[in-house]
Amino acid sequence: MAEPRRFIQMVAGPRQVGKTTLVQQVCEGVGLPVQYSSADEPTLRGPEWIAQQWELARLKQTSLGALLVLDEVQKIPGWSEAVKRLWDEDTRNQAAIKVVLLGSSPLLIQRGLSESLAGRFEVLHLPHWSAREMGAAFGWSVQQSIFYGGYPGAAPLIADHERWVRYVRDSLIEPTLSRDVLLLSRVDKPALLRRLFELGCRYSGQILSYTKMIGQLQDAGNTTTLAHYLELLSAAGMLTGVPAPGCRCSIRPCSRRWCAFQRSWIPVSG
C-alpha cells in the first residue's frame, strides 16, 4: 500500500485465519480514504454492486488517492470481469485508487484471476496459522496446535471443549461446506462430499486409499468423483490428501515397495 498503484492485491486463504483483521489493521495505518465493503451475505450480489463500491471509492479519492477493499469477492458472479473493467478505466483515467480483494475460496479466486485479470494482480496467500505462530500468540504447544488447528478465533475456547467443538462445527466447517464449496462449485452429490469430509476426519493422519473410500461410502461412483471432491475440499482449506511416496530409483518397472514399519524401500518379495 505504500507503493504507487501497480497491482490489485488479492488476499486469499481459508475462513477465520485473520484475513479481514489483517487488512483492517493495514487500512487504519495506510493514510488514505478507505471504502470497505463485504459480499459475505446469504444472497449473492451482482457485478453492479462492485461498480457501486468502486464509485464510492472514486468519490472519496483525494490527491493521495483512495483504497477500495472488497471482502469475500468470490461470492459475486462475474466478479473478475467487473473488476477488470473498472481497474482498466482507472488506469486510463490515471486514478490513484488502490484495490485489495479478499476471498475464502482459493480455487474460485484462482479461476477468476486466470480468466480475466492476468498481469493485473498479486496474490498474498494466508494459510492456517503455524504451530510456531499459535505458540507465540497463545502459548500453545506443538501438540495443541496439531489437535486444535491454526484458527486464532477458536483459541480462547479450548478450555471448554464442547463449546470449542460447537464453534468449529457451526462457524468454520458448516459455512465453508455450504457456502464456499456447495454454493459456488458444481457438486452433483452434496451428501457424498459431506461423507467424504467426515471419512477424512476419521482417518486423519492414516493411510486411506480411494478403493477403501469407495467401500465405505454409499453411491460413491468412481475414484474420479472422489478425487474431484477432495480437490474442492483441499482448495477450501478443509481436507487434503498426501500422496503415497514413490520410489525414485531408475529401475522400470520397479521391484521395490515402501515399508511403513521399516521406513525403507524393500523388495516386493520381501
Structurally, how many domains does the chain consist of?
Answer: 2
Residue 259 lies in a domain: no
Residues 6+ apart with CB under 8 A from 8: 83, 87, 99, 100, 101, 117, 120, 121, 122
pTM above 0.85, yes or no: no
Residue 65 lies in a domain: yes
Are 32 and 119 found together in one domain? yes
Domain limits at 194? 131-235
Q: The domain spanning residue 23 has which CATH number?
A: 3.40.50.300
Are 142 and 109 found together in one domain? no
Are 86 and 188 found together in one domain? no
Which of 73, 96, 125 is at the close of a domain?
125
Which of 78, 100, 125 is at the close of a domain?
125
Kindly report the average pLDDT of the chain as a whole number.
83
Grid cell at residue 208: 486411506
Residue 262 lies in a domain: no
Are 93 and 157 found together in one domain? no
Residue 107 lies in a domain: yes
Least confident residue range of 23-32, 50-59, 112-121, 181-190: 112-121
Cα gap 168→106, rounded to integer Å: 20
Which range, 40-54, 190-204, 227-241, 254-268, is most confident? 190-204
Are 76 and 148 found together in one domain? no
Are 178 and 113 found together in one domain? no
Mean pLDDT, residues 194-201 taken together: 91
CA angle 9/56/183 to nearest 5° reads 60
Do residues 94 and 65 touch, judged by C-beta distance below 8 A? no
Are 86 and 137 found together in one domain? no
Buried b (16+ CB within 10 A) or exposed e, 225-243: bbebbbebbebbbbbeeee
Binned at pLDDT 50, 70 and 90, residue 148 comes out as very high
Cα gap 45→168, rounded to integer Å: 27
Residue 264 lies in a domain: no
Which of 107, 125, 143 is at the close of a domain?
125
Residue 263 lies in a domain: no
pLDDT computed for residue 139 by the predictor: 95
The answer to whether the Cα torsion of 107, 109, 110, 116 is positive or negative is: positive
